[in-house]
Amino acid sequence: MEADDLNAPLGQSRKKHRLPKLPVAAPQMLAGALAMVGLVVALWAAFVNDPLGGEPIVVVATKSSGGTAADAPGGDGKEHARHEGESTNAPIPKAATAAAAAAEKSSEPPPGSKTVTIIDGSSGKSKEVVIPGGAGDKPAAAKAPGGDPKLLDVSRHGAIPKIGTDGSKPYTVYARPRTLPPSLKDLPRIAIVIGGLGISASGTAEAMAKLPPAVTFALAPYAPDIQKLAERARADDHELLVQAPMEPFDYPDNDPGPQTLLTSVTAEQNVDRLQWLMSRFQGYVGIVSFMGARFTATEHALSPVLNETAKRGLIFVDNGSSSRSVASQIAGNQNLPFAKADLILDAVPIAAEIDRALNRLEIVAREGGVAVGMATAQPGTIARIAEWAAKIEKRGFVLVPISMVAVKAKSS
């Protein structure tokens, strides 16, 4: 029986419309899109030559050497910087011809300049960069502050000392010898070297303020504003030394610092490190070892360093950290002015022990005629040495800078 419209259940005769099914699921579409992006990136990296891709780019507007329209006489600064093309009919002014000739000449490297080739590691492309020296320019070493230009050489680290063409040596030119009256000439001589200047601000200030000019200052190579410190010390008539960090027996547990001279590296590396130390400031008479018990006892490591020191016209001072040091023998073979510390004055940094060390130093000077003491730039040490130095001549000794006790050691 066919149902009529009144008795038929509602909605049964209506056709249902279903959404069409997609051939792939949404996650699959997302994965495909990501794969497509990755493929584009890979193709770009493979076929596009852009070695600086991803690097930040800065565009800087520069002013041409010929000047802009705004710089021309009568210009109002509103002219457009637009090139309309060359006019084949207009004659070329003589000024333009001269300017072109000057530009061509200026493209040639100036005398004394250096051309450095830089190779890009990614693309392999090379680019030449001209480092101008300028005609008549002095070497970089000659411009270094604090030193005599005649006694300065050029190294890859900067200015370092050298023996002058007239035979003058830095240790004699920069020396601050005392002129001793007849009453003091025959007295035993004592030299005091204060190391670590520039590291402790309070110790450095105390040394500058309290110690007499005859005390020698050894500047730490890591001190900030080291050249200014050197100039101030020289203005007060102190002789200067460079402290050279050298390998101790417990290295690397006990590390003297960067550019330490080591027994495990080549002679060339140690000489290069020594030249870095020499370049830190100018106006010094020599080198003094810092730590270095192992290094100064190792002949094959120490010999090239002392050879370089002698070649530069300097003194070498052994800080006395090792009784096994062979510095004296090597210095004799190298014809190198040499001194060795007899005592570390503040090995025990308390006032009573420093006073005892100074008394022992007097005994060494009385027995041998000369004595050298080492100490550090600490306020307590400075105070004891300053008080002792004020009365030294009354006790029958004379305080002198290191250059007045350094001698050319005899070869063995």
Distance CA 9, CA 230 (A): 110
Q: What is the model's pLDDT at position 173? A: 96
- Helices 299-311 and 267-278: crossing angle in degrees, nearest 10, is 40
Task: Report yes or no: 238 and 217 within 8 Å, Cβ to Cβ.
Answer: yes
- For the domain that residue 396 is a member of, what is the CATH number? 3.20.20.370
Is 125 domain-assigned? no
Distance CA 295, CA 265 (A): 11
Is 140 domain-assigned? no
Is 160 domain-assigned? no
Is 282 domain-assigned? yes
Token pair 């420093």: residue: 354
How many folded domains does the chain comprise?
1
Distance CA 24, CA 104 (A): 67
Distance CA 328, CA 302 (A): 11
Q: What is the model's pLDDT at position 253? A: 95
Q: What is the model's pLDDT at position 38? A: 77
Is 320 domain-assigned? yes
Q: What is the model's pLDDT at position 138? A: 39
The H or E element that residue 328 is part of is helix 327-333
313: exposed, middle or buried (Cβ count in 10 Å: 0-12, 13-18, 19+):
buried
pLDDT tens-digit map of 209-262:
999 999 999 999 999 999 999 999 999 999 999 999 999 999 999 999 999 999
How is the chain split among helix, strand and coil, in percent rounded to 5? Answer: 35, 15, 50
Is 332 domain-assigned? yes
pLDDT tens-digit map of 293-349:
999 999 999 999 999 999 999 999 999 989 999 999 999 999 999 999 999 999 999
Residues of the chain with pLDDT under 50: 51-52, 55, 57, 64-90, 92-96, 99-100, 102-107, 111-114, 116, 118-123, 129-144, 410-412
Is 266 domain-assigned? yes
Q: List the beta bridge partners of residue 340.
A: 318
Is 158 domain-assigned? no
The H or E element that residue 192 is part of is strand 189-197
Q: Name the residue range of residue 222's domain.
A: 170-408
Q: What pTM was estimated for this model as a whole?
A: 0.66
Average pLDDT, the chain: 80
DSSP secondary structure letters along 51-77: TTTTS---------TT--GGGSTT--S
Q: Per this entry, what is the length of the chain?
A: 412
Instruction: Report helix, strand or coil for 116.
Output: strand
Distance CA 389, CA 212 (A): 8
Q: What is the model's pLDDT at position 25? A: 66
Q: What is the model's pLDDT at position 134? A: 39
